[in-house]
Structure 1
Amino acid sequence: MTVELRQLTMLDEKAFFEGMKEWKVDELSWYTFAWRDGMSFSQMLEILKKEKAGIDIAPDRVPHTMLYGFMDGKIIGRVSVRHELNERLRHRGGHIGYSVAEKFRNKGYATDMARQALDYCKSLGLQSIMVTCSDSNTPSWKVIERFGGKLEDRVWNDEDNEMIRRYWITL
């Protein structure tokens, strides 16, 4: 079964808040960068629209598109596609950041979402992209390598206190 990877619409409000519950054990940024307590869903969608267009984004951010993975009407994961890189993203983050809720892991969904995200990157005109992951996150680097990711290097990340793998994928 294929994951439907797409941007959120107003019709996804219930699925978004239900999906958020799946990230209770993780940092909320693995699910959403835009939503904050007290914010309406429509306000969040407006922020996502502006972030995609590069309007009113924080100085340390770049234009990006947030895509959510749906299975049977439920959100199982998300992918942030950064349209360009800044220094921070060159070190940790890259063009694509993805996450799958714990109970949906090890079922091939990350691979399906990554494949679709790579197609989205092509549609942006990107010819090669950087993808990073924790050195200890074997499932993630296996997904990256499955799509032709070439390991550039491994670097220490002081912020997360861990070794990071940095890959390049030619599109």
Structure 2
Amino acid sequence: MELRNYEVLSGEEIDIVLHKKSSGDILKGWSPEYKFQILLQGTDTVIGYINLRLGDSEKVINYIGHIGYGIDEQYRGSKFAAKACNIIREIIKDHSMKKVIITCNPDNYASRKICETIGATFIEIVDIPETSDAYSTNETQKCRYEWIIQ
């Protein structure tokens, strides 16, 4: 899958800026990926990140998801992660993806709320195999959400 260049993408209250691209490693199950910084709109203030993984490897579909995000603690509570998801929706469409999987830990209620806010549908909770590099003592299960892109 070809990775593209993206200029600053703007949405409600935030901008996302391409920080890094990775072509992945098929042998290790790593997908091509975009890593974006989330900034307060019109500033250089980085408040978090959002990543978009391309492709449908078992690891992406079941454990780590197509989208990962994090907001710095002092900026949480303003739905910035949901707003960033809505901005990268255009990049998802640009890659002809019709749906994406988002995963989070079952006890991460804030992330689960983000999934609900953007309209993703809860699918299930899965156990992460101990043999997977997605497994750790803090991450033994994942909630899986499906987000249909229209």
Structure-2-length-normalised TM-score? 0.77
Deviations 1:60-103 (A, max 9, x none): 21111111101131111111101112111122111101111122
- Partner letter of residue 163 of structure 1? Q
Residue 67 of structure 1 is matched in structure 2 by: 36
Higher relative strand content = 2
- Partner letter of residue 165 of structure 1? C
CA contact (8 A) 2:79 2:114 kept: no
Runs of 5+ in structure 1 lacking a partner? 9-47
- Partner letter of residue 70 of structure 1? L
**What SS does the corresponding residue of 2:107 show, helix, strand or coil?**
coil
User: How many angstroms apart in 1 are the aligned matches of 2:80 and 2:125?
Assistant: 26
Residue 28 of structure 1 is matched in structure 2 by: none
User: How many angstroms apart in 1 are the aligned matches of 2:34 and 2:95?
Assistant: 10
**What SS does the corresponding residue of 1:92 show, helix, strand or coil?**
helix
User: Root-mean-square deviation (CA), in Å?
Assistant: 1.6
Runs of 5+ in structure 2 lacking a partner? 1-11
Q: Which runs of 4+ in 1 moved over 4 A?
A: none
Residues 107-126 of structure 1 aligned to structure 2 (within 5 Å): 107-126=78-97
Equivalenced residues, count: 127
Structure-1-length-normalised TM-score? 0.68
Counterpart among 131, 141, 146 of residue 163 in structure 1:
141
Residue 73 of structure 2 is matched in structure 1 by: 102
Higher relative helix content = 1
User: How many angstroms apart in 2 are the aligned matches of 1:152 and 1:88?
Assistant: 16
User: How many angstroms apart in 2 are the aligned matches of 1:6 and 1:88?
Assistant: 26
